[in-house]
A and B are shown apart, each in its own frame.
Chain A
Amino acid sequence: MKLTIDQRWDLIDKIAKQTVTFGEYRHTLKDAIGELTIKPFTGIPIAIAVMYAFWSIFSSFAGTLFTDGFMVKLFDGHFLPWMQDIFPGAGGWLYYIIVGDPLANNSFEALGVLTSGFFVAIGVVLPAIFIFYLMLALLEDMGYMPRLAVLIDTVLHRIGLHGYAIVPTILSLGCNVPGVAATRILETKKQRFIMMTLLAIFIPCGAQIGIMEEVIPDTMGWVLLYLITGYFIFGYILNKIVPGKSPEFLIDVPPYRKPMISNLSKKVWGRIVGFFKVALPFVLLGCGIVNVLYLVGFIDWVGNVFSPVFVLWFGVPEATAGPLIAAFLRKDLAVAQLSVIEMTPYQMISAVVLVSIYFPCVATFAMMIKEGVKEMLGALAVLFVVVFLYGGLIHLIGILLGVA
């Protein structure tokens, strides 16, 4: 026999009456603090403090302690000179691919697979993602994420998503791949499409944030501002033009819980293993491919052919063609390569924004295909339009401000 919905609730009512008694319940301090973090008036300052702590600890740990404190010294002072010394055939093509510039005195500028590639991956990105994922796991396990979702609900409704979309967004800040997978919790095709497209275009991943913090600390704020603004502008537009519904969603707010160290370490360890299995090979591969393409003259050719687009439309030098190709494999590598090109601060900001938005990295791309080829193609179509419009818009803003 099957019951109707009303019969089921009726039955549950009877069962509950016979089995459950609700004792007197007094609000505890934990509940009261939980409420403070949800109400907008008190919750927003708290959210701002949480973001501050996230960023402060991230840059202290990854930047000050590991990369600047030890890794730069290790790679520039010891590893790079050693590689330049022992690798045979300076000036030859193999040397160029593996070690890069024989005269370079820092690991960013050498551009070789084993010099810059290793430095970017191990020296900069590894400490960055370690601390990033540790803190992300802390926020997840404490139960802060759904609260953030409730807080930001009204804003996200404007772009056709509900507050819960903050969860894929934040996961994407770690890596876009789990972010795309997490869009499954959104109800309609429309919402999932908008979310996936926005993530793939506008959300920089932890590795990219780590490298930006290292190479363009002064201007990365602008990059992030452009990306966040784009996220909302294009979210708003997509919401208007994509057919479908954006239903209301009730968010279940779980109680705060004490994170367990075993679970935290398990999560972070999983990420680190993933880094060595996926990210590291792609960084090295990306480095190698770009070097080979330089050697055969392909990148200069692309630079020349698209020169009007780069210079006139986006206002960035032709030389950004190389990093843009690398960006298909790894965004962090692309930003590192951009950082050694001679550019004005404005050009650097535009170029980094372009690298971020122009194409999802290959891992994200694969994940999007898995989620649906049709959606992926749609997202790509949106992406090309967005890159042109937004890239042009940033150039226009630059011209108006007189810096381009």
Chain B
Amino acid sequence: MNVLLMGHPNVGKSVFFNRLTGANVTESNYPGTTVDFTKGWMKIDGEDAELVDVPGTFSLDPKDKAEEVAVAMLHENKDAKVICVIDASKIERGVYLALEILEEGYPMVIALNMWDAAVDKNILIDINNLQRILGVPVVSTVAISGEGIKELTLKLKEAKPIKIEDIVKNAGGLT
């Protein structure tokens, strides 16, 4: 199995990567730390899976060379599953990228990372409802402390391609 870690810059993809694979890629608190992809191995239910730390990207319409790498990674791995990492306090922007990836038919799990910071800011997210509308597993995580990581890997099995029409229907239609 092939798993891609995708999301905006500086949402903690590299922290996930290190947690999941035991690797040592650089983590920093500034956007643009990862400018190239790194591959590593992780175990899901005793099965080896290849995990790729993809550079951060705002959308699938690349603006710089690091984003080009990200989009190319996605398109080269047509059968991959995607872990979409979203900053829980900036959920709208993150969901935009998630929708774009879902539209291309990739199975996905969403990690609402930096959950603790969102709680501090009094932002409440109804995870069950979000899960129902999007039809993909959604897990709240705090990658730095490891919270939610285990659940995230367990949910990877449940990830399956979603029809965007279903999301539109669940959300109550377009205007």
A interface residues with partner B (beta carbon < 8 Å): 1-3, 7-16, 18-25, 28, 137, 140-143, 145-146, 164, 167, 181-182, 184-187, 192, 251-252, 254-257, 259-260, 263, 266-267, 270
Judge whether A19 and B30 touch: CB under 8 Å.
Answer: no
- List A contacts of B154 (CB < 8 A): none
B164 within 8 A of A: yes
Point out the residues of chain B lying under 8 angstroms from A270, CB to CB: 24, 26
Query: Footprint of A on B, CB under 8 Å?
Result: 8-10, 24, 26-33, 35-36, 55, 63-66, 69, 91-92, 95-96, 99-100, 103, 117, 120-127, 129-130, 133-134, 144, 163-165, 167-168, 171-172, 174-175
B122 touches A22 (CB 8 A): yes
| Contacting pair A9 B96 (CB below 8 A) | yes
- CB <8 Å contact, A15 and B134: yes
In the complex the two chains form, what is the Cα distance from A175 to B125 in whole Å?
42
Q: Tell me the bound Cα distance from A10 to B171 in angstroms.
A: 10
Q: B95 to chain A: which residues have CB within 8 Å? A: 12, 15-16
Quick check: A3 and B164 within 8 Å, CB to CB? yes
A189 vs chain B, min Cβ distance (A): 9
Q: Given the complex, which residues of A lie within 8 Å of B92, measured CB to CB?
A: 12-13, 16
Smallest CB–CB gap between A261 and chain B, Å?
12
Q: Given the complex, which residues of A lie within 8 Å of B91, measured CB to CB?
A: 16, 19-20
Top-8 shortest CB links A-B: A23-B122, A185-B32, A143-B29, A140-B28, A184-B35, A184-B65, A14-B171, A145-B30
Decide: A18 near B124, CB < 8 A? Known: A141-B28, A184-B64, A254-B29: no
Min CB–CB distance A251 → chain B (angstroms): 8
What are 13 residue pairs bridging A and B, where the CB atoms are less than 8 Å apart in the complex? A8-B100, A15-B133, A15-B167, A16-B91, A20-B126, A23-B121, A140-B28, A140-B29, A184-B69, A252-B9, A252-B10, A254-B29, A259-B29
Task: Identify the closest chain A residue to B128 (Cβ).
Answer: A19
Residue in A10, A19, A185 whose beta carbon sits within 8 Å of that of B31 in the complex: A185
Partner of B124, one of A3, A10, A23: A23
In the docked arrangement, what's the CA distance between A385 and B66, Å?
30
B122/A14 in contact, CB under 8 A: no
- Give the residues in chain B near A28, CB-CB below 8 Å: 120
Taken together as a complex, chains A and B put the C-alpha atoms of A10 and B35 apart, in Å, by: 31
**Which residues of A sit under 8 angstroms from B66, Cβ to Cβ?**
184-185
Give Cα A3 to B100, complex, Å: 8
In Å, the complex CA distance between A343 and B90 comes to 59
**By the criterion CB–CB under 8 Å, are A254 and B30 in contact?**
yes
Of all chain A residues, the one with the shortest Cβ separation from B30 is A145
Task: Tell me the complex Cα distance, A10–B175, Å.
Answer: 7
A142 to B17, CA, bound (A): 20
**Chain A residues in 8 Å Cβ range of B168:** 11
A144 to chain B, nearest CB (A): 8
Evaluate contact between A8 and B99: CB separation under 8 angstroms.
yes
* CB nearest neighbor in A for B124: A21
Residues from chain A with a CB closer than 8 A to the CB of B134 are 15
Name which of B96, B103, B174 has the most chain A CB atoms within 10 A of its CB. B174
A167 touches B171 (CB 8 A): no
- Contacts A2-B103, A143-B30, A260-B144 given; indicate if A8 touches B122 (C-beta within 8 A): no
With contacts A145-B30, A257-B29 known, is A1 near B163, CB below 8 A?
yes
Chain B residues with Cβ under 8 A from A18's Cβ?
126, 129, 133, 171-172
- The interface residues of chain B lying within 8 Å CB-to-CB of A10 are 174-175
CA distance A153 to B85 in the complex (A): 28
Cα A270 to Cα B26 in complex, Å, equals 9
CB-CB nearest in chain B for A188: B64
- A269: shortest Cβ distance to chain B, in Å? 9
Chain A minimum-CB-distance residue to B114: A255
